[in-house]
Chain A
């Protein structure tokens, strides 16, 4: 099956008991068994079965199977949020004294987790420029255990050379994690370019309608756990093989941290997935048209969209995403005042901290998702005061363009 079919049919066709054609919402905490031995066997791993929804749930399991199939992975664990997915992965791999390498242009929440939260537990994060592949290799030392990148940095809009970074990780025998939130498996399957683990915030394009928070961890099967530097997972690999890392999470880290999704939210993610392929086509289409419109506008100082033919990352967009630049772009009107006035003046687009919704969204990153970072840190991440981030929706393009046209005019009113 191809991607546009898997989003609808992968991992779940019908409920075995009732024939229900959408996944039933198993709104239950726990699962009853007739005999003490049955439950004891499940706890001991001698029999398969559900124990407690914090560990596994049939609605969530349907979502996990579909996402695993979409990413071509050996398995998946769905989580309560994208941050819970990343937290589970890194807590499952790192110990005090370990280091990770990541790009400085990634999502502020992820950067805060690495630098601030993990920093408190003795993990060191080294930041590199995602565009400069050599920097990844230079940042690795004997304590480095993983490299983490986003397919497109949010909001820097830079695209790492994923296969080249994968080779660097592979040569160092460390793990390569790719956050595929903004591109989704419709634009890229990072497994094919060497990713070991793929993570998602499913709250974004996968959900697609801003109705539920969620995340996911997919083991692509590329990493050989029996040969890595992760001792406890290596030990588990003797028995669990390719499922060693997911078993390690499911039976320890994920179970202990408690970042499980609500069954209702897993259902909403399944609903969203069904239309992911057509939505991504339209998001990319509208985003390219809007980027071209803004680029041709005399009041717009700059536009950053990796799908533009003159973007410095367009070569990678072609190689990795089939030439489609996703649904996110940033642009600048010169200063913070104009950015605020623009946001205050849009009528159709919504000013909120999210992306990947079917509706067009705008945001001023410097004063919102990056507000906790100093001006100097923001400068290093290329988060400028005049930056407006746009998550381009799937409305009729003429309406989006007209909304931006009138809001840009308002931003410059009284300024000559």
Chain B
């Protein structure tokens, strides 16, 4: 399916969830990234349960808080 990731068209496997998308798109520092789907932030605990569909607009955002131990 086609998605718009960070403003650019991208091809992704049909029906995958946000966690799978992070791996598929080889997103850097996935534990630090915030994901916005069609204008709304997806909560981290909802990554697995949030499935994507054709035409979805996804933004990956980084807030450099520094020294996060989550990494």
Which residues does A use to contact B, with CB under 8 Å? Answer: 11, 41, 45-48, 55-56, 61, 63-69, 73-78, 218-219, 236, 238-241, 243-244, 246-247, 250-251
Contacts and interface: CB of A to CB of B under 8 A. Distances in A.
A71 to B, nearest CB: 10
The range of chain B's interface size is 20 to 34
Contacts of B70: 74
B6 interface: yes
A11 B69 contact: yes
A45 B63 contact: yes
Contacts of A69: 69
Nearest to B27: A47
Which secondary structure dominates chain B's binding surface?
loop
A74 B63 CA distance: 13
Contacts of A244: 63
A240 B65 contact: yes
Contacts of B28: 47-48
Contacts of B36: 239
Interface of B: 6, 28-29, 32-34, 36, 41, 44, 59-71
Contacts of A64: 66-67
Contacts of A238: 41
Given A46-B61, A46-B62, A47-B62, A239 B41 contact: yes
A75 B66 contact: yes
A251 B36 CA distance: 19
Closest 8 CB pairs of A and B: A64-B67, A243-B65, A76-B67, A246-B65, A75-B65, A240-B63, A247-B63, A68-B67
A3 to B, nearest CB: 14
B4 to A, nearest CB: 13
A243 B68 contact: yes
Given A65-B69, A69-B69, A73-B69, A56 B64 contact: yes
A77 to B, nearest CB: 5
A56 B71 CA distance: 16
A218 B67 CA distance: 9
10 contacts: A45-B61, A46-B62, A64-B67, A75-B65, A75-B69, A77-B67, A78-B67, A239-B61, A250-B65, A250-B66
A46 B59 contact: yes
Contact of A240 (B34, B60, B69, B71): B34
Contact of A68 (B34, B61, B68): B68
B69 A68 contact: yes
A308 B35 CA distance: 53
Contacts of A56: 64, 66
B29 A48 contact: yes
B66 A61 contact: yes
B62 A250 contact: no
Contacts of A65: 67-69, 71
Given A48-B32, A239-B34, A240-B34, A219 B65 contact: yes
Contacts of B41: 238-239
Given A11-B67, A46-B6, A241-B34, 20 more contacts: A47-B60, A48-B62, A48-B64, A55-B64, A64-B66, A66-B67, A68-B67, A73-B69, A74-B68, A74-B70, A75-B67, A76-B67, A77-B66, A78-B67, A238-B41, A239-B63, A243-B63, A244-B63, A247-B65, A251-B63
A48 B27 CA distance: 10
A243 B33 CA distance: 11
B14 to A, nearest CB: 25
A214 to B, nearest CB: 14
